[in-house]
Structure 1
C-alpha cells in the first residue's frame, strides 16, 4: 500500500513523495509573456520536496502567439521566454525539486485583443464558446473563432514539438501536454465543438487524431519518459461537453497507452467544482494507459490517503492549496492548519498574494 509521503519513480524522475503542485494560472508574465523574477521566487518557494511539492507543474504556457487566451500568461516559443524559464528551473533544481512545463494552446478560448493583429482565435470549428476570458479590460466574452484549415494542422503539431524542445533547453524535467478544460486539443476531441467533416472530425477515432499526432511529435522530440498529459473527461469548463465521454475517453486512453508516458493527469468531475457531476468509470481509463496515474480536483488529506490506499492513483495533484501554502507537504504531514488564499490576488498583480505567503511558524 502506497502512502502520500512515500517515494515513487515516474519515467526518468525520482520523486520524494506523491504530492504534486497542479498548474495554476496567475497572469503575471507581462505583455511579452515572459516569466519574471517574481515567478522565479514563486516556484522556488514551493520547490523543496521536504516541505513543498515533489513535482511542480507550471502554469499553462502557450506554445505560440495564437495559443494565448488570457492576459499576461507566459509562453515558451521565444528565446527570451526560454531564458526566463531557465532561471525558474535552475532555482527549483537548487532545492532538488522537479518541474515540468504545461504546454498550452487555448484554441477558441481567447479574445481578438490577445491574438496577433487582432485576428480571430483558432478552433476545430467556427463555434463561439459561451464563456469569458481575462483581458486588459477584465473578464470579457471570448471572441468568435475561425475553423482551422486542414493544411494548418501540421503546423499546430510542429508548434507543440518545438515547444517541447524549448522546454528541455530551458532545463525542465519534462512537459505536460494540456488536453483538458476545453482548450484546443480538448475542443477537437468533443462532438459539441468539433463539427469537422474531414479526417479530424466525425468519428471518435478522427476526433482523437490531432491529440495522438501531438503526443507522437512530443514523444519523438523529448522522449515518452519526459512527456505527461492532462485530460478532463467530464468537465464542463469553457463550454465543453461530449455526447458519450466514456466511449471517447476509453479510446483516448487506449491511444495514450501506446506511449508509456511519464504520467496521465486526470481532472475528476467538473474542474474546480463537483467531483460527481457526470458518472465516469475512471478505472476503465486507467487500466488502458500503462502510465502513472495522477488525480486532481478538490483533494484534501483524508481523500488523498483514501484513494492511494485503495490503489486509485499513484500521485495526487493539489492546486489552490499551494497558492497560500508553499510548505503544503509539511503542513499535511504535520497536521497543521492550511492558510486561506486571497482570492482577489489570484489573477494578475505583483508580490501580494503571490510570493508573500509565509511557511507555517
Structure 2
C-alpha cells in the first residue's frame, strides 16, 4: 500500500515523500508586495515537505485580494522571491508559487482599484482591508475584451515566478476567487462567451491554464479547485457536470497536477480522479474552520487514488511535520490569533520537535 513516505515523480521533480504543504495566506509581505527574509526562513523551515505550494501571489495589482500579500507582477517582486526559492532549494526542498487573482474579493482601500469580476455581483461577507474588515464592495463587471488580459496575467506571473526560481506554479481556481467566480452559477451572470453554458463558464479557467502552459510548460503547471465550495458566496448549481467538463478539458493539457479540496461528496471527487490522468493532490481538511488534515484522512485518500496529500494548518505550527508524522510524534497546535497578525510570532517561533535526552 502507498504511504505518505513513499517517493513520487512529479513531472521532472522527484519528491521524497507525498506530503504537500498547502498554500496558506500569511500576510507577511513587505510594502509593494515584496517577499521578505522572514518569508525565506519560514518556507525553508518546511522544506522537508515533498512539495511546498506558496501562499497566494497576486498576478496584477487589481488581482490583489488582501493587504500584506506578495505579488509577481513587477521586477522588484520577482527579484524579492529569489531569496525564498534559494533558501528552500538550499534546504533540499521544492516549491511552486500559487498564482491567485482575487477578482471581486478585494476592496479599493487595499490596492486603490475597484475590484473587477465576471459580473457586478458582490461577494458575500466582509473582506480584509488595511483598516479592518469591511463589507465586500460591488465589483466592476469585466468587459469581454479585457477578460483575456486577466487570463494572461496568470501566465505572465508564472514566467516571473519561474525566473525567480520557483519549480512551477499552481493556479488558484478555488475558494471563491476569480477562476471560481467564472465557474459559478451566481457570481457569473454574463451573456457573452464567458457566461451561461458550462462550456462558456469554464472558458476563463481553460484559457488561463493554457496560456500558462504555453509560457512555462505543462510539467510546471498545476491548478487547485474546490468543487461545490460556497466560500465568499459562490454557488455552483451543477457541480458534477461542471467539473467533469472542466477536468476533461484540463486533462488534455497534460498538467503536472490537479489539486482538489474535499468540498463536495466523495463520489464526485472519485469521478474526477478517474478522469484525471496525472498526479492528483487531495486536501482533505476543511478550507475554513478549526479542523485540519489528519494522518487517517491522508491514508483514506491514498487508498482511494490520491497521489499526494496536502496539509495546511498542521504545517503552520510544525515545520518538521514530515518527521513528526513519520515517527508518530505529537503535533503542536497552531495559535490561530497569529495567522494574519504579521511579525514573527506564530510565524517563525514554532520549533521542531524536542527529543528528551537521557541523563
Aligned equivalents of 2:231 and 2:63: distance in 1?
A: 18
Mapped to 1, the partners of 2:21 and 2:113 lie a distance apart of 34
Instruction: Identify unmatched segments of 5+ residues in structure 2.
Output: 286-292, 355-359
CA distance in 2, matches of 1:46, 1:323: 9
Candidates 109, 115, 119, aligned match of 1:121: 115
Residues of 2 paired with 1:179 and 1:245: CA distance?
14
- Matched residue SS, 1:101: strand
Secondary structure of the residue that 2:62 maps to in structure 1?
helix
Give distance in 2, aligned partners of 1:280 and 1:197.
32
In the aligned structure 1, how far is the partner of 2:267 from the partner of 2:160?
A: 36
Distance 1:108 1:307 in 2: 33
1:335 aligns with 2:331: no
C-alpha distance in 2 between matches for 1:146 and 1:330 = 47
TM-score by length of 1: 0.94
* Residues 100-157 of structure 1: per-residue CA shift (max 9 Å, x gap): 0000100000011123xx3320000000111222211122222110100011012112
Partner residue of 1:46?
A: 46
Spell out the pairing of 1:140-219 with structure 2 (5 A cutoff).
140-219=134-213
User: In the TM superposition, what is the alpha-carbon distance from 1:204 to its structure 2 partner?
Assistant: 0.1
- Shift in Å at residue 279 of structure 1? 6.5
User: Cα deviations across residues 32-62 of structure 1 (Å, max 9, x unaligned)?
Assistant: 1111111011001101x2xxx1100000000
| Partner residue in 2 for 1:349 | 342
Q: Secondary structure at the match of 1:9?
A: strand
Give the aligned partner of residue 272 of structure 1.
none
Aligned pairs for 1:249-328 (under 5 A) are 249-269=243-263, 280-298=267-285, 299-308=293-302, 310-328=303-321
1:211-240 deviations in Å (ceiling 9; x for gaps): 111111000011100000000002111111
Higher relative contact order (CA 8 A, sep 6+): 1
Aligned residues: 347
Moved over 6 A (4+): none
Residues in 2 aligned to 1:254 and 1:80: alpha-carbon distance in whole angstroms: 37
The 1:279–1:301 alpha-carbon spacing in structure 2 relative to 1, beyond 3 Å, is closer
Q: CA deviation at 1:68?
A: 0.5
The whole-number CA distance in structure 2 between the counterparts of 1:126 and 1:197 is 13
Cα-Cα RMSD: 1.1
Give the aligned partner of residue 273 of structure 1.
none
Which secondary structure state, in structure 1, belongs to the residue aligned with residue 99 of structure 2?
Answer: strand
Per-residue deviation, 1:25: 0.2
Deviation at 1:312, TM superposition (A): 2.6
Q: Distance in 2 between matches of 1:289 and 1:258?
A: 10
Q: Which residue of 2 aligns with 1:21?
A: 21
Output the CA distance in 1 between the equivalents of 2:113 and 2:156: 23
For structure 1, the residue ranges without an aligned partner over 5 or more in a row are 270-275
Aligned counterparts of 2:64 and 2:34: Cα–Cα separation in 1: 13
Q: Which moved more, 1:133-142 or 1:323-332?
A: 133-142
Q: How far has the Cα of 1:158 moved from its partner?
A: 2.0
| Pair 194,250 (structure 1): closer, same or farther in 2 beyond 3 Å | same
Q: Is the 8 A contact 2:227 2:239 kept in 1?
A: yes
Q: 1:30 Cα deviation (Å)? A: 2.7
Give the secondary structure class of the aligned counterpart of 2:325: helix
Aligned residue in 1 for 2:56: 60
Tell whether 2:56 aligns with 1:69. no
* Distance (whole Å) between structure 1 residues aligned to residue 226 and residue 148 of structure 2: 24
| Greater mean alpha carbon deviation, residues 8-17 or residues 279-288 | 279-288
**1:78 and 2:74 correspond:** yes
TM superposition shift of 1:307 = 2.1
Q: 3-state DSSP class of the match of 2:145?
A: helix
* TM-score, normalised by the number of residues in structure 2: 0.94
